Structure 1
Amino acid sequence: MRPARRFTPRLPPDTPNTEVSPCRRSPTTRRKRPSPSGARSRSTTWPPATPPAHPTLQHLWSTEGVPVSVTVTLVDGLFVGRAAISTSLNFRSVVVNGTARPVAPEDRAKSFQAQTDQIIPGRWSELRPIKDGRSGGPSELDTDGKATPTIGVLSVSLTDATVTAKTHCISEPEHETQADRDWNDGHNWAGLLPIRRIYGPALPDSTAAQRGSAVPRSVQALVAGCEAG
């Protein structure tokens, strides 16, 4: 008994190179045979994949502004409860909803200075002066011709902000019952583990180590302040 032969209908020349499997609703790609010259032809799928809505961050630099939501959370402590349900965190959180707009080129250098000194106080005066184009030379803050600054800054208004803080009372843990306190003959420990954010010793990169460069005063002061605190 001969096996049943599969019937493949002939398609018009302009039909995409796909075939529909009887067990699947989506079309499957069919491989093409190599051309007589030995070169391989690429197989294609249909329909083409849908491109992402925003393949890059270029849309953030719109002069009209882009709606954004910025969230910052600081964890201050870990509360270790007697029960799994009472284990939690002490934290402070800020949510800012607003419109992100690019900072004007003439104000970008000021923005970088404010950010730099906010991270490491006094660091800006120790850095190589930034080239902002005011002296007539090239600027490091110019755009690349695609509405995307090589180094850009976005501003967001703080008028619409929500602040949330959570602090557990050690004497009255949440979601704990008398049975939790009496479990294990009353020796079930609970308490708070404060979380500290400190800086360790300053480690030079390979160039600074090779040249014996000293640690900047601003970095020394930052580390010393953490050690003293």
Structure 2
Amino acid sequence: MYDRDLPTKILKIAKPELLGFDPKGLFIPIVDSFKDKPETAFFPGGRGFYYDKEEEFKSQREIKILVLGNDFGKQSDYNNFIEGKKRDADTGTWKNLIKIFNESYNVLDGNFPWDNCFFSNVYLGLRLKGVKKIGGSLGKIDKDYKDKSFKILSKKIEIIRPKLIITLGKIVKMEMDRLDKINSNIKIVNIIHPSMYNSNVKHEKYTTKDGGTITAEYALKMKIKDAILGIK
């Protein structure tokens, strides 16, 4: 789809009150704090687009690929991001994701289609004290929150109409497996979570056309490459 204001369109259906936040403060809504300046960050903490500061930001993009993480992370990390003390693009998630995606395209002529990607999360809340930073699911804490988050995720997919969804990590894959009514024409591919690249890449497997199996880094590259070639 072509839409220069895609994040704003999604925010209209992802208002905090729709999420039914617990009065105990388990969840903190994320607002579109970067509406007027492009930042590389998963939506809604950032605009949801990959932006190389050395290139001109493209406000109008043809979105074909939805990349889904779990959630935006801890409240303290988000506050540092908002205050400009840290950049989301400097985290292990982004550094490894950029490496993985670019290397998956090295076997072809051309570059990875960053401009065709939208980056977001299954859950739009933040992790407060008592919720571990890595792993786990916000959906396990509150069923009502999970149900409302899934409704927003379904609407998000309906708005974007991606041809490919790349899920990051086994937790996101499990959540997506529970999501009903995903268009059967949308291809879904799961890869390891980039933040855990070094310890988990050995678990990646890819079956070749002749029935053979390759593993680790090359399997990951082939999985992504084939998925993208399949939507062109």
TM tier, smaller: under 0.3
Which has the higher relative contact order, 1 or 2, with Cα contacts under 8 A spaced 6 or more apart?
Answer: 2
Rg larger for: 1
Of Structure 1 and Structure 2, which has the larger fraction of its residues in strand?
Answer: 1
More helix by proportion, 1 or 2? 2
